């Protein structure tokens, strides 16, 4: 029986559905409550910092002065003119963004701690803040950090010979300048941690809502100058992450410092305002992308100028280069681009630091490429599918202009299938009929690839100081025959306990419910990187498969002794080790014998370890959106949304579809709704969920998903990752559909989110232009 | 801050709790009653993760004070499954239809849906969509939550295949 490929129900669900999940805030009850006094201004010098005049017994007020031995967060990148910006755990003299933690206040209850935060004194001599990259790059702009004069913290530059000539001599040059506004990943559970001190061992157990428990442990131990072995990090149930929970945040270091100093338990559970203003932001970018086309509509050269507002500091471990350099390396996407030039700059500002968020820059570059293709198609008199057909990579493996290898995929096939399913001629007729009635319908395509499951080589190419990549799995069989697999990755909603059990079950002839996946605890799992970058199915899956295969060999050797045959003759199936002539032994009985009668076997246990570190692969998809735009209000309704995607072998179709749908919902939010807005002085105007507006079920349509299944040799399981694709493809599909709906007015979407006021402004401007 | 004694029932069990007037119902349930299944997603009444039923009506427990629960019958996610942990029809439907991923918003959706399924009128598509838009989920994209509640309503014979509902689909 094959378990891989089946939509089995998740092992994670029953506890979550009974309210018996264990999230960080649940663990924190009873601990002393930590709240942070945060900077109310974006830039300035701290002139006075003092505790409330009266502190209740047991209350604490902790500032940088109390922790002189604690270091600064200083992730490294050894290329691209990177400036090593340092983020203090708590600032000694200056603040750099609104919401930056300045002091920690501890009390017996949350209510009391919040009272004390109100009563503490923080005086700051304001300095001029730069919130936007235009301000930060202006001549004479204030310098955010002295280490980065001019505020450029990282810069990538490449320009292949011939780009200039191609642009100069092209039949058509299409230029698209656009802006992507700042987003917050907004997991429903915010950040939080509980540091418990064990007086018997002197160790601290930090329970934290994190995607990277091992990395968090390494980072905190380094900051505090403590033995890493004295710190255990546990990621319990984690209420979504989407990249935001990858980073080492100063608050966690304060918790562990408090636990060690005061030998007690301390917890911080952030509120929504803290999450919105002071966790991590993303996607605050402006690009100018330009392509040279020949008369047949084929791209001859592509150039991109990429600006990313990376905020005030650099996130650990990925660094703040992650957005600009992702755009830099992957701009051509699924298209044949013979010549490429790009300049990508990360710009420091007095705003909340940027960190990865689902798709990292690829929602932005896909928006850029796909809007560019539609604009070029219009200029060249081609339809949207035809110009893509002429440019999509269709011969694999394909080496890109930036040196990446695109493995087998279905860029053209996925688009053709989407176009066929949507029946575009019929849509055009409906669109014309609707327009005659004054209704504005539009259809948009978005074709993209998604680099997934990349291991050490891909990260090493970025010259990161800390190079993530591999995953290790320790697997063991109990004497009763159940399997425990301990993984370094750390899921937060992906159903990994289920999908990896399916992978292992198939290799051992067991059922998935006989497999326990252990994750999210540095004491119980091998060192690993975590769950991010659409890597879990590929990398943890590959490591689980390899570990299970090694365990299977052990079982076969032992079975050969019992069945008096050779290991090569033994098969594992349906819970049994089966030899010639159907002689068999239950795997559970075999496991018991190996453990308890090792005298018969010469083996002492059933434990193995394996790692996997693949070069990476590319999944792909075509998204197609049909929208209706209300010209009076600027509102957009999505009438149809379909996806044809190819993520190779699907481990569990139910879970895979869930990733696609959830990603698209976030991508639609990116296209239409969500925006962190700053005042010019760097204050945030969107600090609640009434101002920063994630969509509800009223805004997100039913999504039709169609699968293609290209089994790539680039991964051990045949699976390609798909966790980010939904959010990568959706902004472009929706924006192209809106632009299609408004094309007759001369309106073109070049800024997301395309909110009703922005769409109204575009329509008004177009109408004024038409009158003039 | 003055302290008050409040008496109420949670999932049918009588409780008597002493708390500050400013403590929210959500904090009272989580910290004073040990019922951590109710989750706090925003604490300003937008996300709905903390939805519980108070005297049969869905309530954002972050927007109600504990002292206001005097004499009330409160129901939380912990009261849905059988005492031996067996999932009820609605919980099973969420599992079958993949109506949850990280599970953090799930308690709020389950309590909202419990209210929908227990009302006098049968549930139709329009009412389902209107009600479910009360709460936020960041993982699923909502379609599978709608599927799960619809399936539970059908299994419980609480579903109305109204023309009005169909038209909106």
Q: What is the pLDDT of residues B85-127, one digit of tens each?
A: 999 999 999 999 999 999 999 999 999 999 999 999 999 999 9
Q: To the nearest whole angstrom, how far is the Cα of A48 from the nearest Cα of chain B?
A: 29
Residue B168: pLDDT over 50: no
Q: Determine the pLDDT at residue A225.
A: 98
Cβ partners under 8 Å of residue A18, min gap 6: B37, B77, B78, B80, B81, B85, B87, B91
Closest listed residue to residue A359, CA positions, set A667, A702, A28, A745: A667
The tens digit of pLDDT for each residue in A313-332 reads 999 999 999 999 999 999 99
Cis-peptide, bond into residue A753, ω within 30° of zero: yes
d(CA B56, CA A271): 28
Spatial strand order of the sheet with A576-578 comes to A571-573, A576-578, A584-586
The CATH fold of domain B89-168: DNA polymerase; domain 1 (1.10.150)
Asked if A276 and A687 touch (Cβ cutoff 8 Å), the reply is: yes
> How many whole angstroms separate alpha carbon A109 and alpha carbon A130?
37
- Chain A neighbors of B74, CB-CB under 8 A: none
Q: Give the three-class secondary structure for A464.
A: strand
DSSP A678: B
For residue A101, report the phi and psi dihedrals to the nearest 5 degrees: -70, 130
Residue A246 pLDDT exceeds 60: yes
Question: Taking a C-beta distance cutoff of 8 angstroms, is the pair B41, A189 a contact?
Answer: yes
Give me the half-sphere count of Cα atoms (radius 13 Å) on the Cβ side of residue A444. 37
Query: Each residue of A57-115: pLDDT tens digit?
Result: 999 999 999 999 999 999 999 999 999 999 999 999 999 999 999 999 999 999 999 99
Interface contact A189-B39, CB threshold 8 A = yes
Contact assessment for residue A736 and residue A448, using Cβ atoms and an 8 Å cutoff? no
In the prediction, which pLDDT does A465 show?
87
Minimal CA separation from B22 to chain A, in Å: 8
Helix H or strand E encompassing B113 = helix B106-118
- C-alpha distances in Å from residue A26, one per residue of A248, B11, B46, B114, B162: 21, 19, 21, 24, 42
pLDDT in tens, A585-633: 999 999 999 999 999 998 888 999 999 999 999 999 999 999 999 999 9
pLDDT at A298: 98
User: Under the phi-then-psi rule, with left for phi > 0, alpha for psi from -120 to 50, and beta for the rest, what region is A360?
Assistant: left
| 270-329 in chain A: CB under 8 A from chain B | 271-272
Q: How far is Cα B121 from Cα B143, in angstroms, rounded to an integer?
A: 23
Give the C-alpha separation, B81 to B61, whole Å: 21
What span, in angstroms and rounded, lies between the C-alpha atoms of A705 and A641? 9
- Average pLDDT of the segment spanning A3-16: 98
**Probe site for chain A from B27, B87, B102, B133 (most A CB atoms < 10 A):** B102
Q: Say yes or no for a CB contact (<8 Å) between A17 and B100.
A: yes
Q: Per the CB < 8 Å rule, is B146 touching A697?
A: yes
pLDDT attached to residue B163: 61
For A569-675, where are the E strands, in sequence order? 571-573, 576-578, 584-586, 607-612, 617-629, 636-646
Contact A303, A173 (CB under 8 A): no
Question: For residue range A338-360, what is the model confidence (pLDDT) as tens digits?
Answer: 999 999 999 999 999 999 999 99
Give dist(CA A371, CA A385) in Å, integer.
Answer: 13
- Strand runs (DSSP E) across A525-631, as ranges? 571-573, 576-578, 584-586, 607-612, 617-629
Using a CB–CB cutoff of 8 Å, tell me whether B104 touches chain A. yes
Q: What is the pLDDT of residue A251?
A: 98
Cβ atoms A339, A298 nearer than 8 A: no
The residue with tokens 């860029």 is A411
CA atoms of A568 and A557, how far apart (whole Å): 8
Counting runs of H as helices and runs of E as strands, what totals does chain A give? 21, 33
Spatial contact of A502 and A3, defined as CB atoms under 8 Å apart = yes
How far apart CA A376 and CA A291 sit, in angstroms, is 9
For the residues A37-64, what does the mean pLDDT come to? 97
Residues 6+ apart with CB under 8 A from A112: A33, A56, A59
Rounded Cα distance, A380 and A168, in Å: 17
Q: How far is CA A370 from the centre of its chain?
A: 21
Residue pair B39/B110 in contact (Cβ under 8 Å)? The answer is no
Hey, of A18, A272, A663, A700, which one would you mutate to test binding to chain B, going by the most B CBs within 10 A of its CB? Answer: A18
Instruction: Determine contact: B20 vs chain A, CB below 8 A.
Output: yes
CA distance B10 to chain A (A): 14
Listed residue (A398, A355, A444, A353) closest to A671, CA to CA = A444
Strand B51-54 versus strand A483-487 pairing type = unpaired
CB A605 within 8 A of CB A594: yes
Contacts of residue A382, Cβ cutoff 8 Å, sequence gap at least 6: A297, A376, A390
- Cα(A771)–Cα(A574) distance, rounded to whole angstroms? 76
Residues of B within 8 A of A654 (CB-CB) are: 98
Q: Is the pLDDT of residue B167 over 60?
A: no
Q: Alpha-carbon distance A257 to A84, whole Å?
A: 24
Query: How would you class B83 by CB atoms within 10 Å of its CB: exposed for 0-12, middle for 13-18, buried for 19 or more?
Result: exposed
Per-residue model confidence as pLDDT tens digits over A251-274: 999 999 999 999 999 999 999 999
Average pLDDT, chain A: 96
Interchain contact B35–A (C-beta under 8 A): yes
- Residue A173 φ then ψ, to 5°: -115, 125
Domain residue ranges in chain A: 26-127+186-278, 362-451+618-771, 470-612
Suggest the residue from A654, A697, A722, A723 to mutate for an interface test with chain B (most B CBs closer than 10 A): A697
Please state the rounded mean pLDDT for residues A528-554: 93
- Residue B149 and residue B93 in contact, taking contact as beta carbons nearer than 8 Å: yes
Q: How far is CA A66 from CA A61, A116, A224, in A?
A: 9, 18, 13
pLDDT of residue A1: 64
User: Token match 């807005």: residue?
Assistant: A677
For A26-127+186-278, CATH number out of 3.30.365.10, 3.40.50.510, 3.40.190.170, 3.40.190.10 equals 3.30.365.10
Of A188, A697, A702, the CB nearest to B132: A697
Q: Which of residues 722-741 of A touch B (CB under 8 A)?
A: 726
> Tokens in use for A79?
């290329």
> Position of tokens 């709020």?
B108
How many pairs of residues across A and B have Cβ atoms under 8 Å apart? 171
Work out the burial of residue A582: count CB atoms within 10 Å of its CB; fewer than 13 is exposed, 13-18 middle, 19 or more buried: exposed
Model confidence pLDDT, tens digit, residues A656-698: 999 999 999 999 999 999 999 999 999 999 999 999 999 999 9
**Beta strand pairing call for A703-708 and A636-646:** parallel
- What is the residue-wise DSSP string for A142-169? PPS-TTSGGGEEEEEEEE-TTHHHHHHH
| Least Cα separation, residue A9 to chain B (angstroms) | 6
Among A9, A19, A655, pick the best mutation site for testing chain B contact (most B Cβ within 10 A): A19
Identify the DSSP state of A701: P
Q: Name residue A232's beta-bridge partners.
A: A205
**Across the interface, do B136 and A661 touch by the CB < 8 Å criterion?**
no
For residue A714, the Cα-to-chain-centroid distance in whole angstroms is 22
Give the Cα separation of A334 and A391 in Å (integer): 8
Q: 3.40.50.720, 3.30.365.10, 3.50.50.60, 3.40.630.30: which CATH number matches A470-612?
A: 3.30.365.10
* Residue A238 sits at the chain B interface (C-beta within 8 Å): yes
Mean pLDDT of the region A8-36 = 98
For A159, phi then psi, to 5°, come to: -150, 105
Between vectors from CA A744 to CA A727 and to CA A621, what angle results, nearest 5°? 25
Chain A interface includes B168 (CB < 8 A): no
Mean pLDDT, residues A403-418 taken together: 96
Shortest distance, CA A322 to any CA of chain B (angstroms): 23
**pLDDT over threshold 50, residue B169:** no
Residue of A nearest to B169 (CA): A702
Q: Does A687 touch chain B (CB under 8 A)?
A: no
Output phi, psi for B85, to 5 deg: 95, -5
Instruction: Tell me the ipTM for this assembly.
Output: 0.97
A73 token code pair: 């967060």
Q: Say how far apart CA A87 and CA A223 lie, in whole Å.
A: 11
Give the pairing type, strands A340-348 and A299-311: parallel
Hey, what CATH class is A362-451+618-771 in?
alpha beta
Determine the CATH number of domain B3-79: 3.10.20.30
Domain boundaries, chain B: 3-79, 89-168
CB atoms closer than 10 angstroms to residue A390: 18
pLDDT the model gives residue A338: 97
- Helix, strand, coil share of chain A (percent; to 5): 35, 25, 40
Q: Which residues contact A75 (CB under 8 A, 6 or more apart)?
A: A314, A315, A316, A317, A318, A319, A464, A465, A466
Whether residue A542 contacts residue A716, with contact meaning beta carbons closer than 8 Å, is answered with yes
* Nearest residue of chain B to residue A697 (CA atoms): B133
């Amino acid at each position: 029986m094959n378990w891989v490929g089946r939509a089995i129900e998740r092992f994670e669900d029953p506890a979550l559905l009974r309210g018996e999940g264990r999230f960080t805030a649940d663990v924190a009850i009873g601990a002393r409550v930590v709240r942070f006094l945060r900077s109310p201004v974006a830039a300035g010098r701290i002139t006075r910092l003092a505790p409330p005049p009266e502190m209740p017994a047991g209350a604490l007020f902790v500032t940088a002065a109390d922790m002189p031995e604690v270091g600064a967060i200083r992730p490294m990148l050894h290329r691209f003119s990177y400036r090593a910006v340092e983020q203090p755990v708590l600032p000694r003299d200056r603040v750099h963004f609104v919401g930056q933690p300045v002091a920690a206040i501890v009390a017996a209850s949350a209510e009391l701690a919040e009272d004390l935060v109100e009563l503490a004194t923080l005086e700051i001599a304001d300095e001029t803040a730069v919130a936007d990259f235009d301000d930060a790059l202006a001549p004479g702009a204030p310098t955010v950090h002295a280490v980065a004069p001019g505020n450029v913290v990282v810069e990538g530059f490449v320009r292949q010979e011939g780009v200039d000539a191609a642009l100069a001599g092209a039949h058509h040059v299409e230029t698209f300048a656009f802006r992507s506004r700042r987003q917050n990943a907004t997991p429903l559970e915010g950040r939080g941690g509980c540091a418990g001190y064990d007086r018997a061992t002197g160790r601290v157990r930090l329970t934290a809502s994190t995607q990277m428990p091992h990395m968090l442990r390494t980072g905190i131990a380094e900051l505090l100058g403590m033995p890493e072995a004295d710190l255990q990090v546990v990621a319990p149930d984690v209420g979504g992450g989407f990249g935001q929970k990858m980073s080492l945040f100063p608050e966690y270091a304060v918790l562990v410092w408090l636990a060690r100093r005061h030998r007690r338990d301390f917890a911080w559970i952030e509120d929504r305002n803290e999450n919105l203003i002071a966790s991590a932001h993303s996607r605050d970018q402006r690009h100018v992308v330009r392509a040279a086309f020949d008369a047949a509509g084929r791209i001859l050269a592509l150039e991109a100028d990429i600006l990313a507002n990376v905020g005030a500091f650099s996130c650990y471990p990925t660094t703040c280069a992650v957005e600009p350099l992702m755009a830099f390396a992957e701009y051509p996407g699924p298209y044949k681009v013979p010549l490429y030039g790009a300049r990508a700059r990360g710009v420091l500002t007095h705003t909340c630091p940027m960190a990865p968020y689902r798709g990292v820059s690829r929602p932005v570059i896909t928006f850029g490429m796909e809007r560019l293709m539609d604009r070029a198609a219009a200029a060249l008199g081609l339809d949207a599918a035809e110009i893509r057909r002429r440019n999509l990579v269709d011969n694999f493996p394909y080496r890109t202009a930036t040196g990446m290898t695109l493995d087998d995929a279905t860029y053209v096939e996925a688009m053709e299938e989407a176009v066929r399913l949507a029946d575009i001629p019929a849509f055009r007729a409906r669109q014309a009929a609707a327009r005659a009635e004054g209704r504005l319908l539009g259809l948009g395509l978005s074709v993209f690839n998604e680099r997934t499951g990349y291991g050490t080589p891909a990260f090493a190419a970025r010259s990161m100081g800390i190079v993530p990549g591999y995953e290790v799995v320790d697997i063991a069989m109990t004497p009763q025959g159940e399997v425990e697999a301990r993984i370094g990755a750390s899921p937060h909603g992906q159903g990994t306990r289920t999908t990896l059990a399916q992978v292992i079950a198939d290799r051992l002839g067991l059922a998935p419910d006989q497999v326990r996946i252990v994750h999210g605890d540095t004491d119980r799992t091998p060192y690993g990187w975590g769950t991010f970058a659409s890597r879990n199915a590929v990398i943890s899956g590959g490591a689980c498969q390899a570990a299970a295969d090694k365990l299977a060999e052990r079982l076969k050797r032992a079975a050969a002794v019992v069945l008096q045959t050779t290991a090569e003759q033994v098969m594992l199936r349906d819970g049994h080790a089966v030899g010639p002539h159907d002689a068999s032994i239950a795997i559970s009985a075999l496991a018991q014998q190996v453990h308890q009668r090792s005298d018969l076997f010469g083996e002492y246990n059933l434990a193995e370890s394996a790692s996997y570190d693949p070069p990476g692969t590319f999944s792909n998809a075509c998204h197609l959106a049909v929208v209706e735009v209300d010209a009076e209000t600027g509102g957009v309704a999505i009438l149809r949304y379909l996806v044809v995607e190819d993520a190779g072998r699907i481990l569990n179709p139910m879970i895979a579809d869930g990733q696609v749908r959830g990603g698209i919902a976030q991508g639609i939010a990116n296209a239409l709704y969500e925006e962190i807005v700053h005042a010019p002085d760097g204050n945030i105007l969107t600090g609640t969920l009434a101002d920063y507006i994630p969509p509800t079920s009223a805004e997100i349509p039913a999504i039709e998903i169609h699968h293609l299944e290209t089994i790539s040799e680039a991964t051990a399981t045949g699976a390609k990752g798909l966790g980010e694709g939904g959010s990568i493809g959706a902004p472009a599909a929706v924006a192209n559909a809106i632009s299609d709906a408004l094309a007759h007015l001369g309106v073109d979407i070049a800024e997301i989110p395309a909110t009703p006021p922005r769409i109204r402004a575009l329509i008004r401007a177009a109408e004024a232009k038409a009158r003039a | 801050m003055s302290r008050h004694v409040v008496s109420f029932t949670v999932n049918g069990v009588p409780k008597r709790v002493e708390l500050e007037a400013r403590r929210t119902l959500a904090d009272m349930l989580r910290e004073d009653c040990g019922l951590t299944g109710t989750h706090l997603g925003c604490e300003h009444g937008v996300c709905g993760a903390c939805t519980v039923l108070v005297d049969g009506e869905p309530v954002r427990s972050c927007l109600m004070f504990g002292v206001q629960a005097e004499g009330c019958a409160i129901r939380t996610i912990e009261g849905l499954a059988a005492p031996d942990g067996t999932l009820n029809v609605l919980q099973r439907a969420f599992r079958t239809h993949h109506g949850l991923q990280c599970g953090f918003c799930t308690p709020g959706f389950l309590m909202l849906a419990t209210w929908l399924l227990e009302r006098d009128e049968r549930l139709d598509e329009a009412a389902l969509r209107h009600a479910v838009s009360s709460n936020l989920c960041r993982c699923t994209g909502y379609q599978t939550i709608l599927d799960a509640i619809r399936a539970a309503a059908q299994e419980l014979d609480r579903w109305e295949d109204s023309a009005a509902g169909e038209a909106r689909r």
